[in-house]
Structure 1
């Protein structure tokens, strides 16, 4: 596997963590407006994953199809905190905002070290990543 493909697959795995976490949180809460937001955020993650996966496939490699251990642990931690919390919505929002921090940081790190063709792809996808991050940060600040 080339460095380029490895870097893209690492990003895909981290974004998959976020997508799955949003889908999980959607199923765990009963607030219709948050469910709609979480569905939109999961869809945004899916779009970024698709864009990165196309680039991996163009390099004749297999795109990542699973998340990371850190992502699974973060989701389990959020579930435990939500169970113990009097406000499970605020708990999920806070944990999802931290997941957005992780995705944004991974993208920024990748942009610094990426080869020109990957850097161009990441630059195209970065506004979506930043918009999701900002949306969750604003929501967290409301709770």
Structure 2
């Protein structure tokens, strides 16, 4: 696998982790506004994943099929913490913000270290990633 496809696949896996967290979060919160926001975030992650996946497919490389092991471990950890927490919504938002931090950092690193053929695509998708991150950060601070 070439380095560009490897890098894009890593970003796809990290974005899928975030997407899965939001899919779970939709069912964990009772506030319809949060559910609506989380559904929006799922669609945003799906759009980023689709764009990156198209580039990998166009290069005739194997597409990442799942998220990361770290993402699965974080999900189990978050589920365990949520079962013990008194304020599930605040905890859920805090966990989602951590996922957004991870996605943002991965994209920033890829923009810095990426191959020339991936940088243009990453620059096009980065505003979506940044907007999701900023929106969750604002939400977390408004709840805490």
Where on the TM-score scale, by shorter chain, does this alignment land: which range? Answer: over 0.9
* Partner secondary structure for residue 82 of structure 2: helix
CA distance in 2, matches of 1:87, 1:28: 11
What TM-score do the two structures reach when normalised by structure 2? Answer: 0.97
* Correspondences of 1:63-82 after superposition (within 5 Å): 63-82=63-82
* Deviant stretches of 4+, over 6 Å: none
Name 2:118's counterpart in structure 1: 118
Shift of the alpha carbon at 1:62?
Answer: 2.2
Q: Which moved more, 1:79-88 or 1:15-24?
A: 79-88
Number of matched residues?
143
Q: Does 1:5 align with 2:8?
A: no
The alignment's C-alpha RMSD in Å is 0.8
Contact 2:4/2:117 (CA < 8 Å) preserved in 1?
no
* Partner secondary structure for residue 27 of structure 1: helix
CA distance in 1, matches of 2:58, 2:140: 38
Q: Alpha-carbon deviations, 1:20-67, whole Å to 9, x = none?
A: 110011112222111111110011000000000000001001221200
Q: Alpha-carbon deviations, 1:70-97, whole Å to 9, x = none?
A: 1111111111111111100000000000
CA distance in 2, matches of 1:85, 1:8: 36
* Partner secondary structure for residue 110 of structure 1: helix
* Correspondences of 1:100-139 after superposition (within 5 Å): 100-139=100-139
Name 2:36's counterpart in structure 1: 36
Q: Alpha-carbon deviations, 1:81-134, whole Å to 9, x = none?
A: 111111000000000000000000000000111111200000000000000000
Name 1:47's counterpart in structure 2: 47
Long gaps (5+) in structure 1 = none
